[in-house]
Chain A
């Protein structure tokens, strides 16, 4: 994606033609979706199990959030350790409606058999007891005020992560917190959020989280094989649309500016660009994308709890993008798909254990070690990640962008000190 050619005479050429990789990606995604549909149990010949369709659908969502991460980190240079928190918030927002509505149907069903028709209060109490019994509460916390309304909760999927990112980003960028400071600050935000959600009185069922999300309210008759495909299609569509959006953003002058911010923020400021506004825009936009990805992911996973929001999840997200190759959109997608599927394979116990004679390496236990170390190796030896292979195949080289310091150069400082 990096070889933008703004000065090509035909400025009205469609995006996809200017960037063949977008076209290739969309075609591959479409083929993949078609293939999975044909092979699935729901609509096809049943070679792929429903649970694997769900895994693939979830992987597509992870690819989408990785795309967001790549935009914010790979292109704009903000190593956010909070995007999985936005992802989780999107999941919570949709999960609240799914859980509320399904419980409501169950409660109404059970109350219908009683002698008197239930009052609204009785239904509400019944739902609250069902949902919050595990945390010893029987009343709806204020955050559930709109849980009955699908449109509002859908709006929350984008509004809550977006708003949180906007407020946090505004505070952080405004005070010129950058680089590792910003990373640590985002990590702190994520930690605070997950600790908050772990409390029983957070109103979101503490560490129990929300569960039963795979069941769509009112669609009990539809088999999971079909539902899983619906979500798979939805995820594929979202990924495709997200890819197009990201490609469009990074292709033009905006992309130029954010990459410039990544490489030399102060210089961009001296060009007259309000750097903070650009960062805030990207940070908020990617948080919204992450929220949407989460809202598609968790109904396929079936359960969401605060562990999913813990900082380590966001770190893994950064790992995926780094392994896939940051600064190129397809790199993020490759990384997320490759590492998360490999991770499922290893931790699912499918990988063969290695017997060393004196010790047996069980991948369930050692996979994380391997992942951590290979991450170090990628950082050290292959900063471009898997995506770098494309460059090697295409025989493209680019200069090291960590070239010059911004003046006044650090030498000036020493002159000053020498004068003292």
Chain B
């Protein structure tokens, strides 16, 4: 049965003879012209064949190249004609015409040779193919081709690309092509002047691809010689024992170049001594005396004299040897002129990167400042306006954040839940603030230290209650989708939408508070009570009510700040404690009793913290430490803050 089938196939194959192939199709002719070198498949000689195909201008050329690259082109051993073929099974091929891809039929594979281009040739074919893509009528295709090249650049692409640029109509794609062309020029052009021009054209460019292209060019190798060579490919001269060149590394380089005796590590020396221990002595030196490095050196030297170990350099010898040589780095990846051009271009890019990082840092600082402002503004009201220290303020922030969390458990839609959570958090913490004022604080007016302590007690209790209810692990407060992601200005500067939202929220609060304090009856009464409660009372203002409302208002704002901070960070029972000291710092630095002062204070504290973090990025703890120290010093010079009340008013 199997034999029969095979026979049948054979007969069928014969029945559809290869003669149906268009032996005189133009593409076949081109192929035949270079038939031998194509069959030979050698990277060194194949070039003209690929070029001939690519330059033939034949519509079929692209498909031929594609199939060839995919190892789907076969050659009839007998006629020398090229066909496309798919393997039907192990022995049988389905054949297609190279001219138009029509199916010719099936044939046993005995009569055909598969063309198996090696990876080098495939690359060259690929480069030729890219040209077709680069001239593809579909712009998307062209852009894709550019991406392909950028990802996997080769020397061959350069020529192709240059040709494509001339034909390109779309200015955007033309610009992209030009940029890529310059990048390729830097990498592959033969002429140094050309490369340098291309490098210089990128000065100050922030693209990651530029840096990726330039960086390999400035690669150096550490070398050593008696004197620094006078050639211009020396990148820099290093002195042994510096950070860039540790003493050991320098010496090891000399050793590996056979310019010096080997050195031995302490551990190896020790092992050698132990290995040569005989009757409690090493080379005649008593073991008990070998408790200093000097003694061990001497014992080792004695061993070396006896020929039992290799002689090694002593520390003094190492120093003497190092003194005799200079160490320098030599450009190895590019001619010196190119490397130096690349180095200077990189430098200009670095400068620009630094400027942009500064900008990014500024944005970071601004968003941190708005968080501090939000956290501190409620405190500024209770502390600044009423002179009441509320150490539980941080816990009100926490209550607001947990309110947001609970709302999200009930209302699954994140946008809606935030809209509900903001006012609800205000209500909850307003209530808590009013309750606290009524129950505790009003009994302690004019006893600020006692207020401080009592609110500490409340803070401790609230924190533990939150821990008991919600557990110790952090709870997420998820922001709505439209707040995800960030606004990207360039490769370096970006800011997340959530931070922008917090910034906007902070501005809103600033406006709201200024409005309430300066434009409303409540604000007027608050200011009156602050300045002279007795006089205010005699004018029909109820100071009790005003104090209660002010305290509630300050606490309510803390609640809203809690929701905002919860979106930005995690919600934990300790989150309030994390902000309380910074918030007080913000208020104190800014100047008590002044909303603008709080704004300035938040800006200062935020900028400072980000600035210090930038100087020491690995360590946010250290940044906080130094910031607090700075503030302690700051208070030395401006004890009453940036915006200070003067004269007797400050002492009231």
A residues bordering B, Cβ < 8 Å?
77, 79, 115-121, 168, 171-172, 174-177, 179-181, 183-185, 187-189, 191-193, 195-196, 198-199, 201, 311-312, 315, 318-319, 322, 365-366, 368-369, 371-376, 379-380, 383, 402, 408, 410, 412-414, 416-417
Contacts and interface: CB of A to CB of B under 8 A. Distances in A.
B639 A375 contact: no
A371 B632 contact: no
Interface string B601-629: 00000000000000000010110110011
A189 B632 contact: yes
Interface stretch (B143-151, B255-263, B285-293, B509-517): B285-293
Nearest to B273: A116
Given A177-B635, A379-B454, A119 B468 contact: no
B357 to A, nearest CB: 24
Nearest to B456: A315
B444 A116 contact: no
Given A195-B621, A410-B652, A368 B460 contact: yes
Nearest to A406: B651
A380 B440 contact: yes
Interface stretch (B131-139, B175-183, B187-195, B580-588): B580-588
B454 A117 contact: no
B633 interface: yes
Contacts of B449: 77, 79, 179-180, 183
Given A368-B463, A376-B461, 18 more contacts: A116-B287, A119-B292, A176-B639, A184-B588, A193-B625, A196-B621, A365-B468, A368-B461, A371-B457, A371-B461, A372-B457, A372-B462, A372-B464, A379-B457, A380-B443, A402-B446, A414-B531, A414-B532
Of the candidates A115, A312, A322, the one having the most CB atoms from chain B within 10 angstroms of its own CB is A115
B649 interface: yes
A383 B450 contact: yes
| 8 shortest interchain CB distances as A-B pairs | A372-B461, A375-B457, A372-B460, A192-B628, A368-B464, A117-B291, A376-B457, A379-B454
Interface of B: 266, 270, 273-274, 277, 287-293, 296, 389, 440, 443-444, 446-450, 452-454, 456-465, 467-468, 531-532, 535, 577, 581, 584-585, 588, 619, 621-622, 624-625, 628-629, 631-633, 635-637, 639, 648-649, 652
A311 B581 contact: yes
B287 A115 contact: yes
B30 to A, nearest CB: 66
Contacts of A417: 531
Given A184-B581, A187-B581, A372 B588 contact: no
A196 B612 CA distance: 14
A366 B468 contact: yes
Contacts of A369: 460-461, 464-465, 468
Given A188-B585, A379-B453, A179 B443 contact: no
Contacts of B625: 192-193, 195-196, 199
Contacts of B581: 184, 187-188, 191, 311
A118 B532 CA distance: 78
A191 B577 CA distance: 11
Contacts of A380: 440, 443-444, 454
Nearest to B577: A312
Nearest to A371: B460
B453 A375 contact: yes
Given A188-B581, A402-B447, A171 B649 contact: no
A412 B651 CA distance: 12
Given A180-B452, A376-B458, A380-B443, A195 B624 contact: yes
20 contacts: A116-B273, A116-B274, A116-B287, A116-B290, A117-B290, A171-B633, A175-B635, A180-B389, A184-B584, A199-B622, A368-B460, A369-B460, A369-B465, A373-B461, A375-B453, A376-B454, A376-B461, A380-B443, A383-B450, A417-B531
Contacts of B639: 175-177, 181
A334 to B, nearest CB: 18
B636 A188 contact: no
A118 B267 CA distance: 12
Interface of A (DSSP majority class): helix
Contacts of B440: 376, 380
B109 to A, nearest CB: 63
Given A195-B621, A195-B624, A368-B464, A175 B296 contact: no
A193 B652 CA distance: 33
A171 B632 contact: yes
A192 B532 CA distance: 38
A180 B273 contact: no
A99 to B, nearest CB: 22
Contacts of A177: 635, 639
Nearest to A306: B621
A419 B554 CA distance: 32
Question: Which of A172, A195, A311: most chain B CB closer than 10 A?
Answer: A195
A179 B450 contact: no
A375 B454 contact: yes
Nearest to B638: A175
A183 B452 contact: yes
A119 B291 CA distance: 4
Nearest to A416: B648
B418 to A, nearest CB: 30
Given A119-B292, A184-B581, A402-B447, A79 B635 contact: no
A89 to B, nearest CB: 15
Contacts of B463: 368
A312 to B, nearest CB: 8
A311 B577 CA distance: 10
A159 to B, nearest CB: 20
Given A177-B639, A380-B440, A118 B291 contact: yes
A206 to B, nearest CB: 9
B635 A185 contact: yes
A383 B289 CA distance: 70
Contact of B444 (A319, A379, A412): A379
Contacts of B291: 116-120
A413 B628 contact: no
Contacts of A375: 453-454, 456-457, 460
Contacts of A174: 636
A339 to B, nearest CB: 12
Contacts of B648: 408, 412-413, 416
Contacts of B635: 172, 175, 177, 181, 185
A91 to B, nearest CB: 20
Given A179-B449, A180-B389, A181-B588, A192 B290 contact: no
Contacts of A79: 449, 452-453
A319 B649 CA distance: 33
B632 A188 contact: yes
B154 to A, nearest CB: 44
Contacts of B444: 379-380
Contact of A413 (B446, B624, B637, B652): B652
Nearest to B277: A115
Contacts of B462: 372
A196 to B, nearest CB: 4
B621 A199 contact: yes
Nearest to A193: B625
Contacts of B290: 116-117
Contacts of B270: 116
A369 B460 CA distance: 7
Contacts of A366: 464, 468
A179 B293 CA distance: 60
A195 B609 CA distance: 14
A3 B605 CA distance: 47
Nearest to A376: B457
B94 to A, nearest CB: 64
A360 B300 CA distance: 74
A350 to B, nearest CB: 19
A134 B553 CA distance: 48
B638 to A, nearest CB: 9
B171 to A, nearest CB: 54
